[in-house]
Each structure stands twice: as structure tokens, then as C-alpha cells.
Chain A
Amino acid sequence: MNGFFDIPSDLQHSWFGLIGLHLREALLPVLAGLVAALPLAQLCVRFRWLYPPVLSLTTVLYAVPSLAFFVVLIDYTGQSELTVMIPLAVYSLVVLVPAVVDGVRSVPPETLAAATAMGFGPVRRYVQVQLPIAVPAIIAGLRVATVSSISLVSVGMLIGNQGALGNLLHAATVYHRPELAVNSVVTTAALAVLADGALVLLRLLLTPWMPRGARRRTPRAARPDATAPAPKEAGR
């Protein structure tokens, strides 16, 4: 394991620098996906007929391999971080729209009726009632999106070393240093596990109102596997 953390100088980053870069390239798209998913999901809840076509369209987008995405985008955004982040944002959106829709729909009808009857306007009702109650489902979606995004960033290696920790895989081949490949895989996995743990912690902090322990009734929407697509595998 000699030189495990000795990163080749052509990558222009230390190990910590690569981690920072990796997190930025992975998490900014998730954030962008969430910002886009919230209003889109609200539209889908409000106009029920909109949801099936939106779901079909986003599922088709999800089926596009990231490499194909890169090839198309390179003409416009070049060999840049942006070219990596745009597909990741789209994939996050695909996971998050059903998560938010299910979360918002999981609000009990009588709670919603009570909110309306007490004089909540639609916006206030969404922000103060529907969204907070949807938090468990939204965070379940965020966990899938985040983990999948962290693993997918590595593919950016193929478009001019934009893969952050993934670039170590390339360096491992070029310099005949297999320990760099191990470093890449282990660090990426550790980041994914830590990010997932942080989201679980966030949910616990945001939802003191949820029943804990064995009696817990898992909300329909808190199971991302029910409606959301499976996590995307790196390298597709």
C-alpha cells in the first residue's frame, strides 16, 4: 500500500481535494434535482393527469446511459464539470419527483381538509403542512439520489478527467499503481455511506413527530423502491 494517498500530480488535486471535488460534482446535481422536483411534483399532485406523462418522460430520461448523455452535451458544455453534473441532476430529478409526489400524497385527507378549513391558502398549506409531512418520503428519495450520484461521478473520468475520485482509476492504469484504483473505490464507497448516514440523521432531526421503534407504520411513500427507479449503476 505504498503511496496509497500519493496522488499523481497530473490530477492537480490532493486526496482531500479530490474528495471535495467529488462531493461538489455529486451533491450539486442532487440539490438542483430537488429544486426542480419540488414544483414539478406539486404540479403533478395538483393536476393528477400530469403525473403519468411526467413519470413516463422522466423514466425514459433515466434509461439514457450517462455516456450517451455526455456525448450529446460535450458539443454544448465541453469537457467540463457541467457536462457531468447535468445528467446527474436529471437522474436525481427522476428519483425525486415520485418521492415528493408520494410524500405529499401521504398527507392524511382529513389533515388536509382541516388545514383548508382553518384558512390556509394553497401556498401556505403546501409549505407548512404538506411539505413537512412529506419530509420522510423526500429524504428517502434523496438517499437514493445521493448515493447513486456519488457513484456515478466517477464516469466523468471518460470526458477529460472530470471524474474526481474516478480519475484515480485511470491513473492506476496509466502509472501501473493498482493501489490508486483501490483508493478510488474505497473512498467513493465511504463517501456514499457517510452521505447516506448524514441524511438519516437529518431525517431524525426533522421528524421528531414520527413514531419510533417497532410500532412504526412505514408511510407508503417512505419506501423508495415502490415507485422510484432502482439506483443507477456507475458505468452505464
Chain B
Amino acid sequence: MFGAVIRMESVTKRYPDGTVAVDRLSLEIPDRSITVLVGPSGCGKTTTLRMINRMVEPSEGRILLDGVDIRRQPVNALRRSMGYVIQNAGLFPHRTVVDNIATVPRLLGWSRRRARARAAELMERVGLDASLGRRYPYQLSGGQQQRVGVARALAADPPVLLMDEPFSAVDPVVRKGLQDELLRIQDELGKTIVFVTHDIDEAVRLGTRVAVLRAGGRLAQCAPPAELLAAPADAFVEDFLGADRGIRRLSFLPSGGLPLQKSPVVTVDCTAEQIAARAAPGLPYLLVTDRDGRPLGWGEPEALLAGPPDPARLLPHGRPFEYGSDSLRAALDGAVLSPTGWAVAVDGTGRVLGVVSQQTIGEAVRSAHAGSRTAAGSWDRVAG
């Protein structure tokens, strides 16, 4: 089942003591996308999430699921149609991994056999070894527990997935793996995901759209991450995005438009004439590749003329970026890491397409920024 559209109309949550957790929040959450709610603690993001499955009832306003008020159906039926992933996974300690995952199918009346078969299928999807199925949660690592949490939420194939800071309690390396896994699963399944986090990097990395909430539960800005980074609505959002939003923005600019120079590239068995012909002005080095076109390193033309280059004595070429599919951020990173100040562009198989200087990348950034002022938000998201 694919996702569903969630529409929040001027939703307010006020507690009996007068505290306002969410203040007249209107938000359209499109289907088949990841909408991230992000903000400092106390901004009402978890409350907002919990109003979608009615764990918290709004004081005012209403929430529509595919155009129908969520109060129109029985609360438990509503909740069973929405997967829920929570911080620390919230697994049932007294049930095995398989039975944890099979929970909602069992609640929906599936036979034990069918529910367990489905659980096994989901373990594979979230990258858990089948042998873990009979373990209890205490026998798993934090990352594995969180994978079980995601599998459990997906078990009954719900159109909506609610995720409440699901990855914030695991270490950064495991978190990155879980994030990649979530993006991959979302590519395959196309759910409507509402994701709560306090980590702006996670929000920008995962979100199709990012909704920034400020204390008191008011919406500060809701936009695709590239637009958010390019044009924060106010000082609060800008501050929340952090100091390096300029660099982070480059993640959303494609490297495909960069003009590549092919001349300063030579193969390891080239002739002296070729080397002499290819030395470019302003570049005292040539990039040497192997016979298949894979980069080996940078060498000085004089040294190369003296004889076949020794790969061990070449200067390192930094991390090459994949032309087209990597972003300008990766290209700039490659250029910054390279001792020559030039980045190496490769194709999908790792063969060199050309090289590009920091200066050229800088010009591309400037022209992209100029273009963004006329067509803000029109960029396509680029991985990496």
C-alpha cells in the first residue's frame, strides 16, 4: 500500500494548565514523501506527531487523512494503519524479535503462521539476519533493536509511518547506516513518513520537506531542505540551521554542469610528446591514470618525461567525485583534499572524465546561487 496525504488544519494543543504545546499549526504532508518535523526541545514536535495517531487529542483544529477526519474511524483501527517507531525502539522485552515484528498483524487477526512469515520477510528488508528472529530484545545491539522497531512498524504495510526521534539514541556510524536504510526502504515502498528529530543534519539528509518548529509549537518554516538552506525565513531558522549551512547547501547542487578539463590527464604509458602537449597553463601537474582510465595520482611533467611514472611517488588525487550524481559539495571536497587544488571527476565505473579546479567550482556555486534567486526551490535533490 502506498502513502496517504495528511492535512493538519490549524491544530492547537493546549493543556489544562494553560501550556500551549502546538499553536495553530497548519501543515500539508504529501504522500510518498518524508516530512521532517524539527526544532528545539519543547517545540511541540512529538506532540504534533502524536496527534496524527490520536495519542494526543488536539484542543482545536482537525487532522484529515486522505480527506477524511481521523476521528471518523475507531482509534485502534487508525493506529493499526499507521506504523510507529519510537526512540530506543520500545520493543516488547518479553517477546522474541519475530513476535515483536508480528505484533500488528496479530492484532489485525492474521494467523500466527502468516504473521511470522511476514515478520521474516521484513527482517530481510531491514537488513537483519534471520538467525536473530528467535532472540529477545536484550540480546540485540541498539542499532539492531532500532531495525526491529522499523520492521515492526512496517509489518502490516501501513500507508503512514510515524517516527519519533528513532535514531537519536544510537552512535553516529550506526545512525548513518539506519538513515541510508530508511531512504532505501522509502525508495522501494513510498510511504507517507512523518519524522521527528532535533538534529538538523538528520532533517536535511532525510527530508523531502522539513518543517522547522519554534518553542511554543509554532511553525517557523516548511520547505524542501535545499530551499530551507538557501533562504531561511527568519533569524530563528537561520540560527537553527547552524553556521555551515552554505557548505551544506552545496549538497543540493548537482555537479553535472561543471566544465571539466580533459587535457591534463595522461595514461601511465603515454609518450613524451603527449605529456609535453598536455601540460596546461596554471597547472604544474598532470593527472596520471592506469590503462583503464582509473586515477593513480598527480605528477610533475618534468618528472613524467624522465620515464614511466612510479605510482607510489605520485601526489595523492584526493577523493574523486562521480560526475552528475554527486553534488557540488563532493566536488569541492575533492578539490580541497587534493594537494593540487583540482578535483577529479569520474564516471559510475570509476574512470576519469576530467579534472576541475577549485576556482571553477567556485564559479559554478556563484552562478547556481544567482540562478536560485530567480527560481528558488526548483532544484532537484542530489544524493551525497
Binding site for B on A (CB under 8 A): 108, 110-121, 129, 132-133, 135, 207-211
- Known contacts A110-B88, A118-B107, then 11 further A-B pairs from the complex at CB < 8 Å, ordered by chain A residue: A111-B91, A113-B55, A114-B86, A114-B89, A114-B92, A114-B149, A117-B55, A118-B80, A118-B152, A120-B76, A133-B94
List B62-91 residues whose CB lies under 8 Å from chain A: 75-80, 82, 84, 86-91
B291 within 8 A of A: no
Instruction: Specify which of A112, A117, A121, A208 is in contact with B162 (CB 8 Å cutoff).
Output: A117
Complex CA–CA separation, A207 to B87 (angstroms): 24
CB distance from B59 to the nearest CB of A (A): 20
Contacts of B76 in A (CB 8 A): 119-121
Complex CA–CA separation, A111 to B80 (angstroms): 16
CB distance from A132 to the nearest CB of B (A): 5
Instruction: Specify which of B86, B89, B91, B93 is in contact with A117 (CB 8 Å cutoff).
Output: B86
Q: Which 10 A-B pairs have the closest CB atoms?
A: A114-B90, A110-B90, A117-B84, A119-B79, A119-B80, A119-B76, A209-B136, A132-B94, A209-B94, A211-B138
B103 within 8 A of A: yes
Asked if B107 and A114 make an inter-chain contact with CB atoms under 8 angstroms apart, the answer reads: no
CB distance from A21 to the nearest CB of B (A): 37
Contacts of A111 in B (CB 8 A): 90-93
Contacts of A210 in B (CB 8 A): 138
CB-defined A-B contacts under 8 Å, sample of 8: A110-B89, A111-B92, A113-B86, A114-B90, A117-B53, A117-B84, A118-B107, A135-B94
CB distance from A6 to the nearest CB of B (A): 50
Interface of B is mostly: mixed
Asked if A118 and B103 make an inter-chain contact with CB atoms under 8 angstroms apart, the answer reads: yes
Binding site for A on B (CB under 8 A): 53, 55, 75-80, 82, 84, 86-96, 103-104, 107, 136-138, 149, 152, 162
Complex CA–CA separation, A110 to B87 (angstroms): 7
Asked if B88 and A119 make an inter-chain contact with CB atoms under 8 angstroms apart, the answer reads: no
Contacts of B78 in A (CB 8 A): 119
Asked if B107 and A119 make an inter-chain contact with CB atoms under 8 angstroms apart, the answer reads: yes
Asked if A116 and B94 make an inter-chain contact with CB atoms under 8 angstroms apart, the answer reads: no
Contacts of B138 in A (CB 8 A): 209-211
CB distance from B187 to the nearest CB of A (A): 25
Complex CA–CA separation, A235 to B162 (angstroms): 59
Instruction: Specify which of A119, A120, A121, A133 is in contact with B93 (CB 8 Å cutoff).
Output: A133
Complex CA–CA separation, A114 to B173 (angstroms): 25
Question: Closest A-chain residue to B80, C-beta based?
Answer: A119
Instruction: Specify which of A113, A132, A133 is in contact with B90 (CB 8 Å cutoff).
Output: A113
Complex CA–CA separation, A3 to B4 (angstroms): 83
Contacts of B91 in A (CB 8 A): 111, 114
Complex CA–CA separation, A73 to B77 (angstroms): 51
CB distance from A124 to the nearest CB of B (A): 8
Contacts of B152 in A (CB 8 A): 118
Asked if A209 and B95 make an inter-chain contact with CB atoms under 8 angstroms apart, the answer reads: yes
If A207-B94, A209-B95 touch, whether A117 touches B79 (CB-CB below 8 Å) is yes
If A118-B79, A119-B76 touch, whether A110 touches B94 (CB-CB below 8 Å) is no
Question: Closest A-chain residue to B87, C-beta based?
Answer: A110
Complex CA–CA separation, A133 to B149 (angstroms): 18
CB distance from B119 to the nearest CB of A (A): 14
Instruction: Specify which of A113, A115, A211 is in contact with B92 (CB 8 Å cutoff).
Output: A115
Question: Closest B-chain residue to A129, C-beta based?
Answer: B92
Complex CA–CA separation, A108 to B138 (angstroms): 13
Complex CA–CA separation, A118 to B77 (angstroms): 9
CB distance from A133 to the nearest CB of B (A): 6
Question: Closest B-chain residue to A128, C-beta based?
Answer: B92
If A118-B104, A211-B138 touch, whether A108 touches B90 (CB-CB below 8 Å) is yes
CB distance from A191 to the nearest CB of B (A): 31
CB distance from A234 to the nearest CB of B (A): 36
